[in-house]
Structure 1
Amino acid sequence: MPMLGSLRRLALTPSFTDVSFAKRGFPVRPTDATRRLEAIPQSVLCGFEWGIEVRDQWEVERRLELVEPEMRGFAYEGAAMAYTVRDAMAGGRGNRARDLLRGPGRPHTFLTYIGIGFAMARLPRPLWRKVLPDLTGVPYYPTMSWLAVDGYGFDRAYFEMDRWVTRQQRPAPYPWQGRADYFPRAVDQGIGRALWFIHGGQSPDVAAAVGRFATERHADLWSGVGLAATFAGGSDAEGLAVLRREAGACLPQVAQGVVFAAKARDFAGFVPPHTELATEILAGISVSAAAILADDVAADGFGQSAEPDYEVWRQRVEARVGADLRLANPPS
Structure 2
Amino acid sequence: MAGLLRSLRRRILTPNIAETKLAVRGFHVKDEAARELLEKIGEIFLTGFAYAVESGTTAEAEERLEQIPERFRGFAYEGAGMGFAILDCVTFGDLRRVRSLLAGRGERHNYMIYVGIGWAMARLPRFLWPKSDTLDPLLLWLVHDGYGFHQAYFHTDRYVRQQRPETGFGWPAGQEAYARRAIDQGIGRALWFVGGTDAEQTVKLIESFPRERHADLYAGTGLATTYAGGATEDELLWLRHQAGAHLPQLAQGSAFAAEARIRAGLLVPHTRQATQIICGATAEQAAETCSKTRPDSSLPGELPAFEIWRQRIADAFVSLGGVTP
Q: Aligning the two structures, in what range does the TM-score lie when normalised by the shorter sequence?
A: over 0.9
Helix, strand or coil: the match of 2:123?
coil
Separation of aligned partners in 2, 1:4 and 1:191: 35
Does 2:258 correspond to 1:262? yes
Helix, strand or coil: the match of 1:121?
helix
Q: 2:220 aligns with which of 216, 220, 224?
A: 224
Q: What CA RMSD, in Å, does the superposition of the two structures yield over aligned residues?
A: 1.9
Structure 1 residues 195 and 112 mapped into 2: Cα distance closer, same or farther (>3 Å)?
A: same
Aligned residues: 323
Equivalent residue number for residue 104 of structure 1: 105
Separation of aligned partners in 1, 2:122 and 2:323: 41
Separation of aligned partners in 2, 1:307 and 1:160: 29
Q: Give structure 1 stretches of 5+ with no counterpart.
A: 135-140
**AA matched with 1:277:** Q
Q: 2:305 aligns with which of 306, 309, 315?
A: 309
The structural deviation recorded for 1:61 is 1.4
Q: How does 1:1-332 map to 2 (within 5 A)?
A: 1-93=2-94, 95-130=96-131, 133=134, 141-178=136-173, 179-298=175-294, 303-324=299-320, 327-328=321-322
Q: Do the aligned residues in 1 keep the contact of 2:30 with 2:197 (CA within 8 Å)?
A: no
The structural deviation recorded for 1:130 is 3.2
TM-score, structure 1 normalization = 0.92
Q: Deviations over 1:292-329 (max 9, x none)?
A: 111212267774221000001001111111233xx357
Q: Deviations over 1:245-271 (max 9, x none)?
A: 111111111011011111111111121
Separation of aligned partners in 1, 2:182 and 2:95: 27
Structure 1 residues 296 and 10 mapped into 2: Cα distance closer, same or farther (>3 Å)?
A: same
Q: Do the aligned residues in 1 keep the contact of 2:247 with 2:324 (CA within 8 Å)?
A: no
Q: Do the aligned residues in 1 keep the contact of 2:279 with 2:323 (CA within 8 Å)?
A: no
Structure 1 residues 93 and 295 mapped into 2: Cα distance closer, same or farther (>3 Å)?
A: closer
Structure 1 residues 6 and 251 mapped into 2: Cα distance closer, same or farther (>3 Å)?
A: same
Structure 1 residues 129 and 87 mapped into 2: Cα distance closer, same or farther (>3 Å)?
A: closer
The structural deviation recorded for 1:39 is 1.3
Separation of aligned partners in 1, 2:324 and 2:76: 42
TM-score, structure 2 normalization = 0.94
The structural deviation recorded for 1:95 is 1.4
Separation of aligned partners in 2, 1:175 and 1:307: 16
**AA matched with 1:151:** G
Separation of aligned partners in 2, 1:323 and 1:23: 44
The structural deviation recorded for 1:75 is 0.6
The structural deviation recorded for 1:330 is 6.8
Q: Give structure 2 stretches of 5+ with no counterpart.
A: none
Structure 1 residues 299 and 94 mapped into 2: Cα distance closer, same or farther (>3 Å)?
A: closer
Question: Bigger shift: 59-68 or 7-16?
Answer: 7-16
The structural deviation recorded for 1:94 is 5.7
Equivalent residue number for residue 138 of structure 1: none
Separation of aligned partners in 2, 1:110 and 1:132: 17
**AA matched with 2:101:** L
Q: Percent identity?
A: 43
